[in-house]
Amino acid sequence: MTNKKNKTVHITKASGEQEPFSPEKLARSLERSGTDTDVIEHIVSDIQSWITDGMNTHKIYKHAFSLLRSRKYATASRYKLKQAIMELGNTGYPFEHLISRVLETQGYKTQTGIVVQGRCVTHEVDVIATNKHKQILVECKYAQDAGKPVSVKVPLYIHSRVEDIIKKRETLPEFKNFTFIGCIATNTRFTSDATDYGKCNDMFLLAWDYPKGNGLKDIIDREKIYPVTVLNKLTKAHKQKLMDTGIVICRQITASPDMLKPLQLNDKRTKDVLDEIHQLTR
């Protein structure tokens, strides 16, 4: 983007890198959330007149989200997905639950937080996903800072752990004819060395936008597996109370609306929440 003096306006990414502001990139992100064309044009125009050189992407996102929220609640919920995942909390459990749901949509049965025996030592595996003859052993790397990528040290370490588990399981009759895959799932991104090492060792890497077209954001949007933190009709305290009781995904509430009762919402607020979830997941 350039201003009236034809000076390019640069923005600061979460990593600290700077790049020219792209109205087209902002428009595409709004379009992916289901925003109408006229609303996109209004928001992009507003941002272009408001943005200043060096402004960070988080501040731009917050302003765009505020404009979107004033018009379209459900669309705003989808647009805030990346930030909503950052708000899952620092325990890591809600993110593990989210990843298990992602794998369930791919036809796997899942378990979380399982201690398994390797050939040499025991290991705690964040998520184990199993289908008829295949098992994925998942390490979740959750971050609340989008600027911290997963380095090559992580797949190096996880690969050795997975190999120890596989060598043990290959000797067990219940895993006869099974194939095993090590997986790392993160809500941020991988360094190029990390993806190179993962691909070289046949690991399954899942990041916010990796693999391209089938990253975490793509699967969540496609399968409508939205975390409760996207909801605009609940307070932060409400969302935390739900997650403390194991309710992480909006669809859990759809399946059993009584899960909202501990929040002590009035009838109108309850209806608003259920309506917002319906618009997100329909």
Residue 213 burial by Cβ neighbours in a 10 Å radius (0-12, 13-18, 19+): exposed
Select the more confidently predicted residue: 144 or 139. 139
Q: What is the pLDDT of residue 73?
A: 58
- Provide the token pair at 212: 């391209």
128 and 204 in a single domain? The answer is yes
**Rounded average pLDDT over 181-200:** 96
**Rounded average pLDDT over 70-84:** 73
Count of the separate structural domains present in the chain: 3
Q: What is the CATH number of the domain that holds 230?
A: 1.10.150
Please check whether residue 23 lies inside any domain of the structure: yes
Please check whether residue 1 lies inside any domain of the structure: no
Please check whether residue 4 lies inside any domain of the structure: no
136 and 211 in a single domain? The answer is yes
Among candidate residues 30, 49, 79, the one where a domain is terminated: 79
Select the more confidently predicted residue: 18 or 164. 164
Using pLDDT thresholds of 50, 70 and 90, give the confidence band for residue 65.
Answer: confident
Q: What is the CATH number of the domain that holds 120?
A: 3.40.1350.10
Residue type, 272: D
Q: How many CB atoms lie under 10 A from the CB of residue 280?
A: 20
Q: What is the pLDDT of residue 3?
A: 45
205 and 104 in a single domain? The answer is yes
Please check whether residue 5 lies inside any domain of the structure: no
Mean pLDDT across the chain: 89
**Rounded average pLDDT over 182-198:** 96
Please check whether residue 84 lies inside any domain of the structure: no
149, 169 Cβ separation under 8 angstroms: no
Using pLDDT thresholds of 50, 70 and 90, give the confidence band for residue 40.
Answer: confident
Closest CA to 271 of 259, 252, 257, 281: 257
Domain that holds residue 75: 10-79
Q: What is the pLDDT of residues 211-246, one digit of tens each?
A: 999 999 999 989 999 999 999 899 999 999 999 999
- Provide the token pair at 246: 């194991």
Among candidate residues 199, 223, 247, the one where a domain is terminated: 223
Please check whether residue 85 lies inside any domain of the structure: no
